[in-house]
Every structure is written in structure tokens, then in C-alpha cells.
Amino acid sequence: MSRPSSDKAVGAQGPITADRLFLALLLVAFPAAVASHFFFPGTNTFLLCCLALIPLARLMGEATEVIAHKLGAGLGGLMNASFGNAAELIIAIAALREGQIEVVKASITGAILGNILLVLGMAIVAGGVRREKQTFNATAALSGSAMMFLALVAMTIPDLFHVARGDAALPVLQKMSVGISVVLLFMYALSLLFALRTHQHLYAAEDEGVEEDLPNWSQAKAVGVLLGATVGVVVMAEFLVKAIEPTIESFGLTHTFIGVIVIAIIGNAAEHSTAILMARKNKMDLAFNISFESSKQIALFVAPVLVLLSIPMGHPLTLEFSHMEVVGMGVGVGAATLIGLDGESNWLEGAMLLGVYAILAVAFFFVP
């Protein structure tokens, strides 16, 4: 997943980049969140942690991209694929440790829907608003759609099995989820082999001009930024999870809505800005890649890893999602696939994706 740095606007003090704005947000929100956790715990802490996680996730993504670019296509692609959604994984692990199973599952659903509907929709609108149409590699896009269909099957089967067998299915759902997780991780490895080796030419256009958009960091600085941002995400994730219950009580929200919409949007903030920037530059291959690869990593890597990690952590996690989550993911994958069929996009198609996301958000708001 590619996360180049953002565009510039000229201000009174020189160029103002999105990176500077994110850094300013981090310098304000991070210490405020720490202070709030120890002196004013509750809703304020949750909101400040959300704000601090946005620039931290972006820093992790940029550092990963710089290191991956310097390592070359093979090792770099593997690292980028492995660490592309590290922030989301860390937040989910923190929630899992606290036994927030519903929030973890909802955040997985929300991350997938956020990437293929919200991120992609905003990118298509931003890129197409001043153009009649934009083009991209339909084969690469549909390959991502096919892998998302695989993930959808994996998350549908446990739910259908429970419906068919009733309570008799409960004793085997964990074992079934572990087996499916192993299959998903294997398929994820094959998808990396496809993208980085056997069919690398399909993604060649995505690498053109990427280096000029990356931060001008040395390898040592990128590693330092990655480590520092990771520590920051771990701290903010712990504070955020502990503040979930007071926030739910204050705003009258549900665990599902917090996970599907709020936490997912926070974790996807870096993808939002980067995909929109790439689309505005008419680099739609990159915009589609960011959206589909992020969703694929969540579904085929993060979710299975969480299932396997949940066993020693004492809070077993299964791949049985609610009916609404399964339907939502099916609708999201279907909508994104329709957009990718002809290799062309326009702003109305992007607005359609945003409309689908808005409808699902309204529905999840009322899910108990």
C-alpha cells in the first residue's frame, strides 16, 4: 500500500504541507490525551486519543513506505504489505486485551467498508470533479475485488453455520475460525506472490513517480519514526480502549457503531488523505491500490492474526460476524467491484460509493 506525502499550499510562512498540519495536530493532541487520561479520564480522553492516532497512523505509513522503497520491490513490498495496517492491528489488540470482542469485530468490518467505500469514494470524487473520467488498470482492481470476495466468504460461512446448526454450532466456531484463518493467511501469501513476483507488471504503473512523493528521509530516520510512531500508537490505543465505555454512555452509542464507524475512520485517516491526493494527481491506479490493498490486508491478514492471537490472550475471537456486518461487507464489496469493472471512473460513481457508506452508517447507528 502506497502512502506518499501530500501536496503543498503556499502560505505566509512558506509552503504548508499536509504533513505539517498532521504534525501540528500530533504535538497538540498527544500530550493533551496523556494528560486527560491521568487527570480527566473518560470521553475527553477518547476524543483526544482519536485525534492523536490520525497523525501517528500517517507517520507509521510514511515511514513504512520509505523503508519499503529503499529495500526494493521484493522485501519492500513484503514489509509494506505486513505493516500497512499496523495501527489498526495495534488498536484491535488493545481492545482484545480488554475483552471488547464486539468492538474488535466491528472495527474489522468498519476498516474494510471504510477503505472500499469511504476512502475510494472520496478519492474518485476528488479526482473526477474536474475531469470527465479517469482510467485505471481494471485487471489489478478486479484482482483486489476477487480477494475481497474470498474474505467475504470466510466471514459469511461461520455466520451461516451458526444459523443452520443453532447452539450446536457454538462449540466448533472457534476451531472453524482458526482453520479459516490459516486458509486466509495462506491466500494472502499467494496474493503477495502474485503482486510482487508472477504478475508484477500489472502494478508497474503504481510505482511511477512515487519516489518524488515520499518524505526525504534517510533509512535511519524512517526506522526511528516508525518505532516512535508505533510506541505512540500503542499508548494511545490503550488509553482509547479504556475510555470506550464512558464514551458510549455519554453519547448513547453502541459498541458496534463505535467500532464500525468511529475507530475505523480514525485508523483509515492516513489512507483518506493519500488516496485523495493520488486521485487529484490523476494517479487512479494508486488510489485504487490503496483502497483495495488496505481492505485486503485487514480481511486476509489482520483478522486471521487477531483470531490466532486471541487464544493465548484468553479472549477467544471467532470469524462469526453479525448478519448486519456480513450484509454490509457484501454490499460494500459488490459496489466497489461494479466501479472497477470497466477500468474507468467518474465523480458520480464516487458519490455512489459514499452514498452506500452513508446508508450503512445510518443502519449501524441503530444496531443494538
Among the listed residues 218, 209, 190, 196, the one whose alpha carbon sits nearest the alpha carbon of residue 73? 196
> What is the CB neighbour count within 10 angstroms for residue 212?
9
DSSP letter at 319 equals S
pLDDT of residue 146: 86
> What is the CB neighbour count within 10 angstroms for residue 130?
9
pLDDT in tens, 244-256: 989 988 888 888 8
pLDDT of residue 73: 53
pLDDT of residue 351: 95
pLDDT of residue 270: 65
Q: Homologous superfamily of 8-365 in CATH?
A: NCX, central ion-binding region (1.20.1420.30)
Return d(Cα 86, Cα 302) in angstroms, integer.
9
Identify the segments of the chain with pLDDT beneath 50: 1-15, 209
pTM for the full predicted model = 0.83
pLDDT of residue 49: 93
pLDDT of residue 33: 94
pLDDT of residue 75: 57
Residue 320 CA neighbour count, 13 Å, CB half: 18
pLDDT of residue 9: 44
pLDDT of residue 278: 80
pLDDT of residue 27: 92
Phi then psi for residue 42, to 5 deg, are 130, -140
